[in-house]
Chains A and B, each alone.
Chain A
């Protein structure tokens, strides 16, 4: 496979082999039938639940996200009805508080992020030329966890138990003192859990985009939507740990009295704002970028010309990803932060409009360069562009601190954020739905209805939110359930309400259009009705493309017209199922050179039960039925272990011909394997949580250094560090021992791994014992709270490691351990190394900073 022409090769693969394709020999009889059988759809009712193929999970996912969009939209209409006139009694104050909290929360957490993630799950495999994303069971787990968790969370509204502290849940309003019910707990546990599901989806997308592209689809030929999804998923990995940590801390304060945000004991509510907005502002770009990626994909199809400035658009998206992490405190301009800090954030907030502007200009230039067709996706794209630019302009206004001081917490901000989010995400999403429906439905959506829906939505949006700029500037605050007459707010509020019902009517018409025309899961699809240039428009089945082509252009269907004939004829890679199993080609991250053939799983029920019990654990915790919650948690762990038990058990030949005489290995481990990548990304997520927790520790010290007690004697530290070093080295030695391939390698490796995990457990116990012995208690001060929170976080990893040790031993006992299959041991060793480093770093921080007796 290697050749000396591989100077520019990433893996040593001889790209000259691509010239053998397309093949010309006739395909064997029964090859297509076997492929269809291997990738068959559900045949029994239960199999619709256990389905893992992206064609099913993607549609379920988009459908669920749109369900939450409609539900949150109904809440918006209830609010607008209440605010149509002054002093209305349509909704009680408490109900209104719950509804506005749920509207924001559901829109942001249950609609916006899942919707774009769902779009990725649905589109990426076909777009990249893969059979499916690399972890289809993880996608299914993430989806079911999200759906069950989301529905239960929403149902809290019907029992008067919905959260009522705003979608940002600021303490001290949400502390036990001011929110004594379990409403806030629903938010904290429900949202924290749903974000874990979002992170699972992000891991799937990152590995999918980097490792399952069609051969030849180098980074410069990667679809812009895939770039957007890659950056989006990386942003989730960096940003979402912050919300997971903040929800954990607030829940710990509420449940156990650990004072992270209680100023009386050294806590600080500002910590919540930092942690929340470090997630919250990038969140805006997290949902904007995939939508922008969709716009950059469909606008060339609408204009029938190539995207102007592809390279600059990629750079702009990367820049948006970076700069968006430097703007979180612009939500905190009125909190009394130091002036110079405010100025930094103000400058960054202005700067972030530049990359967004680059994308907008690229879209306008593409539309100008081509021949704009005013079909429904085109109308939604242009409408979204106009609305987003208007929202962006008011964004620059509120980036200026003096203006923000005036507009803060007024309806001006409500108008601004809706222009940005609806123009930047909702309109592009509708454009995407109209554009890509023919890819997965027998019939496209109605063009005639689509145009009516667009105009109603466009006018409705502007009639709703344009007057809110004025209402805000006239002084109407946000989040009020009513207002007094004769303040000049009556008329603009009535206009806004009329507009919101126009918007609502548009959504109702869209739902009717979907019911009339959307016919997924069939054997036929409507096809490329808009003339798109991407691989997703090639004829496909549940297996995605019949054969995986060699990509030579950014616009393959426009520049490689023979693909439409040769791909369905099976003349490219992997035209069948050579081992009679579900398989996809894994390629290298930069040049997309074939590396190995990944065996993909078939449906089972463990991940569905895992999702149900995981959701059950978090939701039952909310109602404080702790014993039942623990049972649910144990069942979730059991299901997940069962799921993992079947992993890393290769079968069949070591190499397989994937077409044209090109042979690929069927098993690899280490950095080439998709599992290794997923573990690294998971550990980055965990590391981000630890970093944010360390930030919290230092931040709280800086607020009240006088409350800091001396740490335990340093003499106990070497034991902790020594055991952690033993754990890290032991894990590494275990996987090395396994690879030595000697008669007793497997036994030695299993025992070493078990010992390493026990060492990690010992280190944690030693550290916890030292702190407990020092007399510091978690509910005594902010120092105690953060120290024990760090210990608890490390304890979670030690707990998982302690599960992994016996798991490794059992694999050996049951004969599932072989020197030829070291992937499981490599990822456990990686996990242990991370646990050791994290434990050492956090221990050193809390022992040495700010210094003994400081």
Chain B
């Protein structure tokens, strides 16, 4: 299971980030007050997600470099590293929505 979580880790963080931002915006809509605080919460959450994908990327790259790993593990780690990069870009892209003027 750890292998699978690592392989799709970056994408999982992206999904969690998307869901988190959506829930925060929905909660803000229900609460109908202090929009700035909700935006701030979204930014903090996004930063945490960025740290998570960065950590994942560093771990996956380190595992490939420090080896020895078999071909299948190397394949998994490279998927994990690339997925983390993709997840990171996705997190930044989604966070831009928070920064855009309403």
Contacts and interface: CB of A to CB of B under 8 A. Distances in A.
Contacts of B11: 318-319, 321-322
Interface string A318-359: 110111011000000000001111011001100100000000
Given A8-B70, A322-B15, A340 B75 contact: no
B interface bracket (residues with beta carbon within 8 Å of A): 35 or more
Nearest to A322: B11
B82 A312 contact: yes
A218 B71 contact: yes
A343 B97 contact: yes
B79 A344 contact: no
B26 A347 contact: no
A351 B11 CA distance: 13
Contacts of A347: 93-94, 96-97
Interface string A413-448: 000000000000000000000000000000000000
Contacts of A218: 71-72, 75
A731 to B, nearest CB: 22
Nearest to A314: B79
Interface string B48-75: 0000000000000000000001111111
B14 A323 contact: yes
Binding site secondary structure of chain B: helix
Interface string A212-228: 00000011100000000
A219 B90 contact: no
B76 A219 contact: yes
Contacts, number: 81
A321 B86 CA distance: 13
A702 B8 CA distance: 33
Nearest to A337: B29
A207 B72 CA distance: 19
Binding site secondary structure of chain A: helix
B71 A220 contact: yes
Interface residues of A, number: 27
Given A322-B11, A322-B15, A590 B83 contact: no
A318 B75 contact: no
Nearest to A358: B86
A591 B76 CA distance: 11
B3 A341 contact: no
Interface in A295-319: 311-312, 314-315, 318-319
A120 B21 CA distance: 36
Contacts of B90: 323, 351
| Most chain A CB neighbours (cut-off 10 Å) among B19, B21, B98 | B21
Contacts of B96: 347
A321 B14 CA distance: 12
B72 to A, nearest CB: 4
B74 to A, nearest CB: 8
Given A218-B71, A318-B11, A351-B93, A344 B18 contact: yes
Nearest to A340: B25
A341 B29 contact: yes
A326 B3 contact: no
Nearest to A327: B18
B25 A220 contact: no
A219 B72 contact: yes
B58 to A, nearest CB: 18
B37 interface: no
Nearest to A9: B70
A319 B87 CA distance: 9
Interface string A14-45: 00000000000000000000000000000000
A375 to B, nearest CB: 32
B95 to A, nearest CB: 9
A343 B99 CA distance: 11
Contact of A315 (B14, B73, B74, B82): B82
B97 A344 contact: yes
Given A312-B82, A344-B94, A322 B25 contact: no
A351 B8 CA distance: 17
Contact of A338 (B8, B29, B79): B29
A343 B98 CA distance: 9
A348 B72 contact: no
Given A318-B8, A322-B8, A322-B11, A343 B72 contact: no
| Most chain A CB neighbours (cut-off 10 Å) among B12, B14, B18, B22 | B18
Contact of A311 (B15, B25, B75): B75
B64 to A, nearest CB: 13
Nearest to B69: A8
A702 B23 CA distance: 12
Given A315-B79, A702-B30, A341 B25 contact: yes
Interface in A33-75: none
Contacts of B73: 8
Contacts of A338: 25-26, 28-29
Contacts of B71: 218, 220
A344 B22 contact: yes
Contacts of A323: 14, 90
A311 B97 contact: no
B17 to A, nearest CB: 9
17 contacts: A8-B70, A311-B75, A312-B82, A315-B79, A315-B82, A319-B11, A319-B83, A326-B19, A338-B29, A339-B102, A343-B100, A347-B94, A347-B96, A347-B97, A351-B90, A351-B93, A590-B72
Enumerate the 10 nearest inter-chain pairs by beta-carbon distance, A residue then B residue, closest first: A220-B75, A218-B72, A8-B70, A322-B11, A343-B97, A326-B18, A340-B25, A338-B29, A702-B30, A341-B25
Interface of A: 8, 218-220, 311-312, 314-315, 318-319, 321-323, 325-326, 338-341, 343-344, 347-348, 351, 590-591, 702
Given A341-B26, A344-B22, A347-B96, 11 more contacts: A220-B71, A220-B72, A220-B74, A311-B75, A311-B82, A315-B82, A319-B83, A319-B86, A338-B25, A339-B102, A347-B97
